[in-house]
Amino acid sequence: MKKLPKLFLPVTLLAGIVCGFLRNDMYVDAQGDPLGLIPLHHPNYPIIYGLAAVVAVLLIVYRFAGPKRPYQIVTKLPIAGIGAGFGALACAYMLFKTEGSTLMLVAQAMGLFGFWGLATAYFAGKRPSLLNMLLPVFVCFGMVLGNLTLWSRLHQTQDYLFDSLFYLFTAIYGIHRITAASGQKADDRAGFVWGQAALFCAIAAAAYGHILYFVSLSLWLLSTFFVTPCKMVLPAPAERLIKMLERAGYTAYAVGGCVRDGMLGRTPKDYDLCTNAKPEEIAKVFDGYELVKNGEKHGTVGVVVDQTLYEITTYRTEGGYEDSRHPDWVEFVDNVCDDLARRDFTVNAMAFNPAVGYIDPYGGQSDLFGRTLRAVGDPQKRFREDALRILRGVRFACRFRLVPQKDTLKEMIALAPTMDRLASERVFSELNEILCHIDEGDLLLYKDVLLQVLPELAPCVDFCQHSRHHRYDVLRHTEQVLCNLPADAPLRWAALLHDISKPQTFVQDEKGEGHFHGHAAESARVAEQILLRLKAPAALREEVVTLIAHHMDLLTPEKPLLRRRLSKYGEPLLKKMIDLQTADRIATGYKKEKHLQDRQKLLGVLKKLTKEEGRLEVKDLAIDGHDLIALGFTEGPQIGQVMNHLLQQVLDGKLPNDHETLKAAAAEFLKNQ
């Protein structure tokens, strides 16, 4: 199945070309005279739709059984820019032909601007704006509507079928690409299917006088399956630091994660530089700048420019790692490739210099766009040097959707026990990032690694719930909950740990049905212990424990109930509770649409409540302690008791938040004491 995507391109192209030729033949009779409408009884029809059915079946098989990572061809040529140029040519051609409705012409004009913007960005080696990516999608929807108009007027459904399917599939494919480009969760497998379907329809539609138009759009679609690394643009201060080192006779490069992110067209969080200058030589070059020398003995000097810290490290190799964390010795070297050899993964073992370009001795670029996580050199050696690299590998794989190379994954699992010597803060930091990027299949794939730092999860593995309401075992259910939540750290932690005590609270009734009485409270207790051990921030820990403890609480769209919940938790936390409950119900494996509709109802009522009333707490009541004392209440617990009583009456809608009404209710309360 891993090689399945490579078969689609030739199959799609061949099937589309055959269909195009057969359709073109249907427009003339034996004497070469135009037939006008395509006769439905034409003998070519069974072949055409037979080929379409074959392509459809292959795509359906791929959608459900193919590899999750898309097949992409990496090239240094600006193929994406050339393809977008062909898209602009297609739109210009259709505009000059001045055919179709006004809607179609407006759509083509928008497409011309969109494709031109895409081509300009790609040729410049930059990521295109989302607006430029969105315009071709608008074109496709406009053309679908235009074709529907023609169908109703000319009754030529078969004439425009492939054309309209092309526009529809391309629009869906474009939405997938926009979703991925914006950093949101996107189904790569589904995107690949829609792209291939659109390509087949474009080639099959290349007949009946618009060959240039559809061939140009086919070339654009083809170009989207190629990847050209973005040109890295260093910020002016970083480039200035490199040039200063070079003027002083040294070599210097940006290195590591910033190069990886720049190659993807992302803006790096920070920029690390490396050079063959020794630490004292670095300090001499930047005499007059604010310097940070905390890491000088390991070869790192920080230079502050425009209030931003740039760390500059001397090229180095390292000795053994007896503590699986710090090198036993550091030796400075003169060659950047020797320095890259000590790094963890190939996607992080790249360097960049504005004048030289990319330095990539270990195939990081190929692995990055081929979606492969590979250790530099011997993976066992890399992970023995620093056990945290195992968790870092999981983080990179989840964040960039990389598939671990076989030996790399094998050693990550084999050496996972060495992580027991890692500082809790470092483990928490990595887990926090992993949880925010985790996707379907990740929790199960990396469970042997994650269980080393979260052993409390071990009983959840393959634990059958024996419930007609649950399709999955506890760990698979947990993964489904994670994948149906936004990338919010407290929410993701709550999802990971919300059912962690189910195995310990499991009982079966006489019918064999499983029950987990009190699992929410017990899971909250265990979650707090875990987060304390990992030294998680107190605010995050408290939020996670609250979410878990109350994830089974009743939440319905009734105003009194939501008013009480809003008063107790506040809007932000209550929204997260709704999200967690919805994801928990979806992860049962049943009635997803119903649960999503229930969520929308809840959020709608909550929004209205928040807008009209806000969060009502004791301090918001139209009566206070002084009023109660004046009525005859004594200072102390009695005041708090009656204020809470009045608040509940207001939240339940039994009393308005009115001074005189609350005063009368308080007097009645005192009378009945």
pLDDT, one tens digit per residue, over 209-238 is 578 888 888 888 888 888 778 778 899 999
- The residue out of 612, 640, 661 marking a domain boundary is 612
pLDDT at 49: 78
- The residue out of 386, 418, 450 marking a domain boundary is 418
- Residue 440: band (very low, low, confident or very high) from pLDDT cuts 50, 70, 90: confident
Clarify whether residues 482 and 597 are in a common domain.
yes
Q: Give 147 or 110, the one with higher predicted confidence.
A: 110
pTM confidence score: 0.79
Task: State the DSSP string of 484-528.
Answer: TS-S-HHHHHHHHHTTTTHHHHEEE-TT--EEETTHHHHHHHHHH
pLDDT at 535: 95
Clarify whether residues 558 and 632 are in a common domain.
no
pLDDT tops 60 at residue 578: yes
Which CATH number is 490's domain given?
1.10.3210
pLDDT at 586: 94
In sequence order, the 6+-apart residues with CB closer than 8 A to the CB of 208 are: 23, 24, 27, 159
**pLDDT tens, position by position, 188-214:** 778 888 888 888 888 888 765 578 888
* Least confident interval from 269-278, 566-575, 598-607, 635-644: 635-644
* Contact predicate 620/657, CB 8 Å: yes
pLDDT at 80: 85
* Least confident interval from 203-207, 468-472, 529-533: 203-207
pLDDT tops 50 at residue 33: no
Clarify whether residues 385 and 430 are in a common domain.
no
Clarify whether residues 393 and 245 are in a common domain.
yes
Q: At what angle do helices 211-223 and 188-204 cross, to 10 degrees?
A: 160
Phi, psi at residue 353, to the nearest 5°?
-130, 130
pLDDT at 32: 47
DSSP three-state, residue 323 = coil
Own/partner long-range contacts of 552-560 (Cβ < 8 Å, ≥24 apart): 552/520, 553/577, 555/581, 555/602, 556/602, 557/598, 557/601, 557/602, 557/604, 557/605, 558/605, 559/605, 559/609, 559/653, 560/651, 560/652, 560/653
Clarify whether residues 260 and 386 are in a common domain.
yes
pLDDT tops 70 at residue 326: no
Given the structure tokens 């009884």, which residue do they identify? 41
Task: State the DSSP string of 276-318.
Answer: SS-HHHHHHHTBTBEEE-TTGGGTEEEEEETTEEEEEEE-EEE
Report how far Cα 211 is from the mean position of its chain's Cα atoms.
38
Q: Give 668 or 345, the one with higher predicted confidence.
A: 345
- The residue out of 205, 227, 249 marking a domain boundary is 227
| Containing structural domain, residue 299 | 236-418
pLDDT at 549: 95
> CA torsion, points 90, 95, 99, 103, in degrees to nearest 10?
100
pLDDT tops 90 at residue 416: yes
Cα–Cα distance for residue pair 349/650, rounded to 1 Å: 62
Q: How far is CA 605 from CA 297, 559, 562, 569, 620, in A?
A: 60, 7, 8, 16, 21
pLDDT at 1: 44
* CA angle (578, 579, 582) in 5-degree steps: 85
Total domain count for the chain?
4
Q: What is the mean pLDDT of residues 64-83?
A: 75
Which CATH number is 347's domain given?
3.30.460.10
**pLDDT tens, position by position, 20-32:** 777 665 555 444 4
First-to-last alpha carbon distance for the chain, in angstroms, is 76
Clarify whether residues 370 and 470 are in a common domain.
no
Cα–Cα distance for residue pair 610/613, rounded to 1 Å: 6
In sequence order, the 6+-apart residues with CB closer than 8 A to the CB of 38 are: 23, 26, 27, 156, 158, 159
Q: What mean pLDDT is reported for the chain? A: 84
Taking alpha carbons only, the member of 504, 513, 508, 450 closest to residue 482 is 450
- Residue 127: band (very low, low, confident or very high) from pLDDT cuts 50, 70, 90: confident
Own/partner long-range contacts of 146-154 (Cβ < 8 Å, ≥24 apart): 146/100, 146/101, 146/103, 146/104, 146/107, 149/101, 149/103, 150/100, 150/101
DSSP state of 100: S
Cα–Cα distance for residue pair 518/527, rounded to 1 Å: 14
- Residue 155: band (very low, low, confident or very high) from pLDDT cuts 50, 70, 90: very low
Q: What is the mean pLDDT of residues 302-312?
A: 91
Which CATH number is 630's domain given?
1.10.246
- What sign results for the dihedral spanned by CA atoms 174, 177, 178, 179? positive
Q: How do beta strands 506-508 and 403-404 pair?
A: unpaired
Cα–Cα distance for residue pair 105/109, rounded to 1 Å: 6
Clarify whether residues 375 and 431 are in a common domain.
no
Clarify whether residues 163 and 124 are in a common domain.
yes
Cα–Cα distance for residue pair 543/41, rounded to 1 Å: 67
* Contact predicate 233/84, CB 8 Å: no
Clarify whether residues 576 and 651 are in a common domain.
no
pLDDT tops 90 at residue 521: yes
* Contact predicate 73/225, CB 8 Å: yes
Clarify whether residues 16 and 165 are in a common domain.
yes
Taking alpha carbons only, the member of 229, 459, 501 closest to residue 367 is 229
Longest pairwise C-alpha distance within the chain? 109
- Residue 34: band (very low, low, confident or very high) from pLDDT cuts 50, 70, 90: very low
Ranges assigned E (strand) in 189-240 = 226-227
pLDDT tops 50 at residue 35: no
> CA torsion, points 535, 541, 542, 548, in degrees to nearest 10?
-140
Task: State the DSSP string of 531-552.
Answer: HHHTT--HHHHHHHHHHHHTTT
Clarify whether residues 90 and 109 are in a common domain.
yes
Clarify whether residues 122 and 247 are in a common domain.
no
Given the structure tokens 């990847």, which residue do they identify? 227
**pLDDT tens, position by position, 172-192:** 888 888 877 766 666 777 888
- Residue 131: band (very low, low, confident or very high) from pLDDT cuts 50, 70, 90: confident
Q: Give 108 or 304, the one with higher predicted confidence.
A: 304
pLDDT at 666: 81
